[in-house]
Structure 1
């Protein structure tokens, strides 16, 4: 009970991070997520470690897709590290394969990760298209394609990072009826990415990385009925 109260307090406190202004938070979609997409950049490995470790004892029966801005050839090492800290099967995404429930997929450095097809029939697609936001892989590319595949059953998470990668994709998630959660300024190494999403009104919650896992887990316990604003 104390932990739940702390999480709620943190969620409300996140509303004052924007230079003293209160961003407008969206109501949560009532759908239980069928997929989770995560974007991160500067400070991302640490944030992902905290988030995934907090989810370790939780039942998350859906695939998790991650875009982390990182140097070339780091993908396999990052996947192995996240598998160790999360306790969940983790690998770099494979072109043409269907994602497995509960599995974590990392977009390989230098290639965009997209999802093609609707929900349970979605297939992972890797391509060498142009960079977006000076990034490849780009969070926006993953988020937009996942929104088209999963609609209101998508949960998007924007973690610490510089720039605005994830802003366009978060707009697509919201327009499809899905939920977007962002990391708060206090626990972000760089608040460019999550801050841009929050400032534009696409977030349903602005959370400390320490309690974000609790909120994510709660979305799998049944239809969300509370309003975020």
Structure 2
């Protein structure tokens, strides 16, 4: 089993040294080189053939945003983790880097009090992402291929400012007693781009509310909500204490706070909790989904998109067992098929879909007419097998009815 080859790119000598030392101490990682700016990094990629790059956002000569664009022209699937400051400017630049093709990000440890604490933060946050994104390398798989052929580009259509066409629908909520009254979306690694492929496609005056938990730190979630809102037909807000959860609006859980819904009289309101992390996450998808089931019972649609780990599995099981619906993103379109993969393998997903089909699936289920509450309505071949890139999974849990 060979080690993961990492190239560290940062203009600060101290940061390059710290990151390199922490990574090199791991027996599964080899730091093959370092670069002080993007121009040097592009040369070293050719020379050193790394399996993954850590990339600073702000650098002289060629910054991280310019560099990621150039990387994607030749190396479409090479994992790139942005290493950015936890500031307004750093957050905006990181989101822009993700839309331009960066795979994930880690915030630089700042004001942590000591070098040892900063090093531990890098071990806890950066190393697990490196190992997850390079799992194939640890299994002796070939290094990432250059662009072309069947390589999956990581860049979003949103990043290229391509207009997004909303799903054409008649905006009347479904009359079935099983039609969802809320859509709850959970995601992590790769989530910002996945959300940019889903939320802007929802039609204006969408007849139910949408709640979103994306694993992100404070301020990043606000910036993500603002970006989604600018590109979408429904308003998207970072949730605040006491917000009334109304149809036609999406709420994003704020960083470092669980989003918990509570029913008060005839309204559902958002409450924010700093209860302990779940699945090592705060906000956690499972926490949000538990509260969704408490407020809406089986009238909920859980959508689990790309992400590391299994946050969202337990909550989606609760949605399923209450009589609600569950969708999961497929492996081919996921940056990391952790969260949706666990849901798919648990047999609770009504459908496993490429990211481009998720918005249409959400709309069709919200606007369903009386029929089987979990009808997936897949396109089928004459033999009855699902066609296209979506897959409809039979339930392996009791009490479900399927077509």
Scaled by the length of structure 2, what TM-score is found? 0.48
Partner of 1:45: 192
**1:193 and 2:339 correspond:** yes
Structure 2 unaligned segments of length 5 or more: list them: 1-175, 377-391, 395-403
Q: 1:125 aligns with which of 255, 271, 283?
A: 271
Distance 1:110 1:61, change over 3 A: same
Q: 1:97 aligns with which of 243, 247, 261?
A: 243
Contact 1:164 1:192 in 2 (8 A): yes
Q: Aligned equivalents of 2:243 and 2:216: distance in 1?
A: 23
Q: Aligned equivalents of 1:43 and 1:120: distance in 2?
A: 36
Equivalent pairs, count: 200
Partner of 1:34: 181
Scaled by the length of structure 1, what TM-score is found? 0.82
Report the Cα offset of residue 155 of structure 1: 0.5
Distance 1:182 1:120, change over 3 A: farther
Cα RMSD of the aligned pairs, angstroms, is: 1.8
Partner of 1:147: 293
Contact 2:260 2:288 in 1 (8 A): yes
Structure 1 residue matching 2:237: 3-state secondary structure:
strand
Distance 1:149 1:115, change over 3 A: same
Structure 1 unaligned segments of length 5 or more: list them: 1-28
Report the Cα offset of residue 188 of structure 1: 0.4
Q: Aligned equivalents of 1:119 and 1:102: distance in 2?
A: 20
Q: Deviations over 1:166-198 (max 9, x none)?
A: 011111111211101000001000000000011
Q: How does 1:52-201 map to 2 (within 5 A)?
A: 52-55=199-202, 57=203, 60-117=206-263, 121-201=267-347
* Larger gyration radius, structure 1 or structure 2: 2
Q: Which has the higher contact order (CA 8 A, sep 6+)?
A: 1
Q: Aligned equivalents of 2:201 and 2:358: distance in 1?
A: 8
